[in-house]
Amino acid sequence: MKQVKLKNGISVPAIGQGTWHIGDDPRMHDREVESLRTGIDSGMTLIDTAELYGYGKSESVVGDAIKPYDRSKLFIVSKVLPQNAGRKNMRRACETSLKYLGTDYLDLYLYHWRGSIPLSETVECLQDLKDSGLIREWGVSNFDTDDMRELARLKHGGNCIAVQDLYHIASRGTEYSLQPYLRRNDIAFMAYCPLAINGTLRSGIISDPVLRQAADAHGASVQQIMLAWAIRGGNVIAIPKSASKQHTLENAAAGDIELTEEELKMLDKAFPAPDREVPLDIE
């Protein structure tokens, strides 16, 4: 599995495990736990969740899945909702997530998206959680380049270690200015929905002939090519969601696929990057 080195010196797998909608159906619990454990055993030791996902149900499934493992070998990410991202509620929200997860710290805590609480207050609260040991690092989600520049001007804003936004081969808006900004400032980029699983473009992507040609050349699925493409630059961590053992194994195997320069050129032509600033996609 390829690795991404964070600016704190820790390396994490380039493909982790997303958990949106995991925990929604109690009948799926055992299968979801098996899927997450399969991912861990395959090197996908980074698991991303959030208090929003089932309001604790996703975090609880993750907590059950990680019980047999050495906690120090895992990298657990959760997110705080905008309404909880201030002095009044953030510590309580974090402690609640830790309770569901059955752990005493998070490796990374993300501000899920911007709300009405001043960003300066949110950053102070995140830094307080880090100083108290409840979280190892913090970052943000659904931030664009202007948001990041505003963040950088704040006290402790330079301590942001990761940004998580939607990113897949048909949604490349973050490549125009955000990802270059993050590389210059040694901030990792986490790609949610890297398989466009909730996007309106998904059907067109899966049937695209260029993607299928690359998949056939590597004896892989289109989804595996999409993951290999997403992590091609070395600074992106993709977090596909899977609720089955087989799909999890396929996701992990994508980390070993090396796309050729010719394939990358063909994919760029089929799915061109924007030539101007565009709003962040959400699907």
With H, G, I as helix, E, B as strand and everything else as coil, classify residue 110. Answer: strand
Q: What are phi and psi of 82, to 5 degrees?
A: -55, -40
Say how many CA atoms lie within 13 Å of 183 toward its Cβ: 11
The reply to whether 55 belongs to the active site is no
- Element (H or E) spanning 237, and its range? strand 236-238
What tokens appear for 6 in the block? 């964070």
> Which of 53, 100, 167, 192 is flagged as catalytic?
53
The candidate with the shortest Cα–Cα distance to 83, out of 102, 105, 55, 103, is: 55
Give the sheet arrangement for strand 236-238, strand by strand. Answer: 46-48, 75-80, 108-111, 138-141, 162-166, 188-192, 236-238
Q: How many residues does the chain have?
A: 283
Q: CB-based contacts of 209: which residues, under 8 Å, 6+ apart? A: none
Residues of 62-80 as b/e, b for ≥16 C-beta within 10 angstroms? bbbbbeeeeeeebbbbbbb
- Report d(CA 201, CA 281) in Å as an integer: 12
- Report d(CA 120, CA 33) in Å as an integer: 37
Catalytic site residues? 53
